[in-house]
Amino acid sequence: MKVISSREGASGQEVAPLRWRTRARLHANNGDSIVSPPELIVSEWHDYFLGLLQRWSIPMLRFALGLIFFWFGALKLFGTSPVMNILEHTYWFLPVRTFTLVIGVWEMLIGIGLTSKRALRCVLILLCLHLTGTFLALLLAPMLFFQNGNLLRLTVEGEFVVKNMVLIAAALVIGGHEVKPLRGRAAA
């Protein structure tokens, strides 16, 4: 996958910043006034916004995911998380308060790591382990997550757990774009 820099358009050609391109663009002569063709204007704005998306979408995804993990971890740490009931019914064999504190600290560390972009490889591994571990709840208390034992009919709690697949996919996207290789890239 080719990453497009801020100076490169969708077509792969280097483009000037929008403010300079608007002065230097081609114009169509319409009597005494000079008017830009609408296709050229749309193309310029398209390339400009595409460049913004390509530059900022992954960092914003990383920041948003980090903020959510920090927030949810803090809720668990202070004992005000709405998932306390789920944890009590699913992990009945564990001391729930201690387990919740550990999970809360774990989530806050993930959040701090994502927002600060420190030790990102380790943070993403912890994130994927944490989210994958939540699927264990589906096996431990299936009646809590599935209506009448039907695997296709999720309860609200089931949707809460299954949506973690999206968060795992977001972590994979972040890892694919922002984690540097351990060694220099092999010659292509």
Domain locations in the chain as residue ranges: 57-178
The strand ranges marked E within the chain are 28-30, 33-35
Residue-wise pLDDT for 119-165, tens only, equals: 999 999 999 899 888 889 999 999 999 998 888 999 999 998 999 89
Amino acid at 139: L
**Contacts for 164-167 with beta carbons within 8 Å, 24 or more apart?**
164/131, 164/134, 164/135, 167/65, 167/127, 167/131
Q: What average pLDDT does this structure show over 154-178?
A: 91
Q: Kindly tell me if the per-residue pLDDT of 79 is higher than 50.
A: yes
Q: What is the pLDDT of residue 26?
A: 47
In the predicted model, what is the mean pLDDT of the chain?
A: 82
Whole-structure pTM value:
0.71
